[in-house]
Amino acid sequence: MKKNLSIIILAAGAGTRMKSTTPKVLHTISGKPMLYYSILESLKLSDDITVVIYHQAQRVQSSMEQFFQKELETGQLKFVVQDHENYPGTGGAVMNITPTHEKTLVLNADMPLIQASELEKFDIDATIVMSVLELDSADGYGRVVVENGNVVKIVEQKDANEQELAITTANAGIYQFDTQFLLEHLPKLNNNNAQKEYYITDLVEMAINQGLSLKPLAVSVENFKGVNSKVELSQAEVIHQNRIKEAFLKQGVIMRLPDTIYIEYGVQIEGESILENGVTLLGNSKLINAHIKTNSVVEDSVVEDSDVGPMGRVRPGSVLKDTHIGNFVETKKAKLTGVKAGHLSYLGDCEIDEGTNIGCGTITCNYDGMNKHQTIIGKNVFVGSDTQLVAPVTIEDDVIIAAGSTITKNISKGSLAITRAPLKVIKDYFYKFFNK
Ligand code: UD1
Ligand code: CA
């Protein structure tokens, strides 16, 4: 792929319309901050990417550092702080950046649905290539004023007159500039507008007035939707989720009522896995020929040739292989191979081996109030219902644990373990007690 393109991502805005203490670009879509997707797609197209930050700059930068360490080290990706006090606005954001390539693509970071394949369409020879949305209502967007079939200028909603407000052609907010033009004209921007900001959109009118070439590129909301509020955040996530699910369906995953299923970006599914309604798959989970039943949650875990649920919860660090996890069973950092745990159990910080049956109500007591401890259970162990395993504890192969036992010591191979108060039966006690 040729990478003779510079990219500037605008992520400095306060995002007041989100009504949140979290910076807008860190609000998540399918489990990742919006800005993550802008950077991810940009990396496919450019070796010169600058992210402009200002509001909660440190927080935004640290959040991205955890994903893009390598690219920051090589210099493919850079952060620049906007001189927001003196030059607020989308125009102010691109000042003081010197792109290294002939063409510069400018992206708003609040467009999480953007894909590199769509951005490649801006590769047109013109002074400015701008993205245009045809909408039922352009509310919230800058309006594109067109006269005699030609773009004249972009008017922001807050500056628009009644006639301009009625326009349904919107500026989607992505532009490709001739870098030379951009550098020469940025200093000419002014802030004579309702928001007292320097608008990048004013460059459009400047180019037109000078008779330079401007190419409007028609784009769709599916890819170019802007997120300014929590309503739009939720709408964008629906589109993003549908994209993720459609890709898995095409790949052979079976989904019952896909609209009720939530799959974060980063989840992998292989083989003929089945997802029933209400399933949630989070983090970097990996499913291989798995059957996840109604309303179960799998987070940062591996589920291979196994079934979970309905209403199972597989928490981070679990690795299930040839295993059956039934309703109301919770696992965490549990390595289960060939295990059956049908009902109502907590299996945390444990390793359990083939042929072992975990009775209903079994609990690995992994936490002593200060530290977490391991439970190791061997092969073919029969763990009776309502057993508590006080960790650290090891149960060797071929052990039987009687129902209701509290296991505080290691149990050797082939043994029966039973802790039980002797059963007492008092005849006719009921009648005496209730005087009947
Ligand atoms: C902008 C466009 C509008 C377009 C819309 C598309 C301008 C003046 N308006 O409006 O025509 O229809 O996007 O979604 O450009 N930002 C900075 N520094 C700032 C201000 C903003 O980096 O000083 C960043 C924001 O973080 C955001 C992006 O620029 O990612 C857009 O800013 P926002 O305030 O959302 O612009 P809109 O009002 O949506
Ligand atoms: Ca916006």
Per-position DSSP letters for 404-426, written without gaps between them = T-EE-S-B-TT-EE---PPP---
Strand, coil or helix: 329: strand
Look at residue 208 in the predicted model and tell me its pLDDT: 94
Q: How far apart (Å, rounded) are the C-alpha atoms in residues 107 and 129?
A: 12
Q: For 274-322, how does the pLDDT look when each residue is reduced to its tens digit (9 = 90+)?
A: 999 999 999 999 999 999 999 999 999 999 999 999 999 999 999 999 9
89 a known binding residue? Answer: yes
Beta bridge mates, 280: 262, 297
Question: Which is catalytic among the residues 55, 101, 343, 373?
Answer: 343
Q: What φ, ψ does residue 47 adopt, rounded to 5°?
A: -105, 10
Kind and range of the H or E run holding 288: strand 286-288
- Measured from CB, residues less than 6 Å from any atom of ligand 1 are 10-13, 52, 82, 84, 88-90, 92-93, 108-110, 141-142, 154, 156, 170-173, 199-201, 226, 228
Distance (angstroms) between ligand 2 centre and the Cα of 291 equals 40
pLDDT at 1: 56
What spacing in Å lies between the alpha carbon of 245 and ligand 2's midpoint?
Answer: 26
**pLDDT at res. 223:** 95
Q: What is the mean pLDDT of residues 15-19?
A: 93
Residues with CB under 5 A from ligand 2 (ion): 110, 226, 228
CA distance 281 to 273: 13
Has residue 253 got a pLDDT over 70? yes
Q: What is the DSSP string of 29-96?
A: ETTEEHHHHHHHHHHTT-SEEEEEE-TTHHHHHHHHHTT-HHHHHHTSEEEEE--TTTS-SHHHHHTT
Q: If you take atom 22 of ligand 1, which residue's CA is the nearest one?
A: 12
Query: CB burial class (10 A; 0-12, 13-18, 19+) of residue 334?
Result: buried
Specify the pLDDT at position 104: 98
Residue 174 has what pLDDT?
A: 96
Q: What is the pLDDT of residue 2?
A: 59
Ordered by where they begin, the domains of the chain are 5-218 (3.90.550.10), 230-417 (2.160.10.10)
> Residue 237 pLDDT > 60, yes or no?
yes
Q: What is the mean pLDDT of the chain?
A: 96
Whole-prediction pTM: 0.94
In angstroms, what is the span from residue 48 Cα to ligand 2's centroid? 23
Once rounded to an integer, what is the mean pLDDT over residues 377-384? 98
SS3 19: coil
Q: Is 3's pLDDT higher than 90?
A: no
Vertex 171: Cα angle to 3 and 136 (nearest 5): 130
pLDDT score of 4 = 87
User: Which residues are paired to 388 by β-bridges?
Assistant: 363, 406
DSSP state of 141: S
> For the stretch 207-223, what's the b/e string if a residue is b when 16 or more beta carbons lie within 10 angstroms of its beta carbon?
bbeeeeebebbebebeb
Q: How far does the chain reach from its first CA to its final CA, in angstroms?
A: 89
Question: Would you state the pLDDT for residue 248?
Answer: 98
Q: Which ligand is nearest to the CA of 175?
A: 1
The 10s digit of each residue's pLDDT in 104-113 is 999 999 999 9
What pLDDT, in 10s, does the model give residues 195-210? 999 999 999 999 999 9
How sure is the predictor about 368, in pLDDT bands with cuts at 50, 70 and 90?
very high
Which pLDDT belongs to residue 149? 83
Q: Which among 10, 50, 108, 156 is the best mutation to test ligand 1's pocket, defined by most ligand atoms within 8 Å of the CB? A: 108
Percent of the chain predicted with pLDDT > 90: 96
pLDDT of residue 427: 97
Q: Are strands 388-390 and 363-365 parallel, antiparallel or unpaired?
A: parallel
pLDDT at 268: 98
What span, in angstroms and rounded, lies between the C-alpha atoms of 322 and 325? 10
**Tens of pLDDT along 388-430?**
999 999 999 999 999 999 999 999 999 999 998 999 999 999 9
- Over residues 147-164, the pLDDT tens digits come to 888 899 999 999 999 999
Q: How far is the CA of 357 from the centre of ligand 2 (A)?
A: 55
55 is catalytic: no
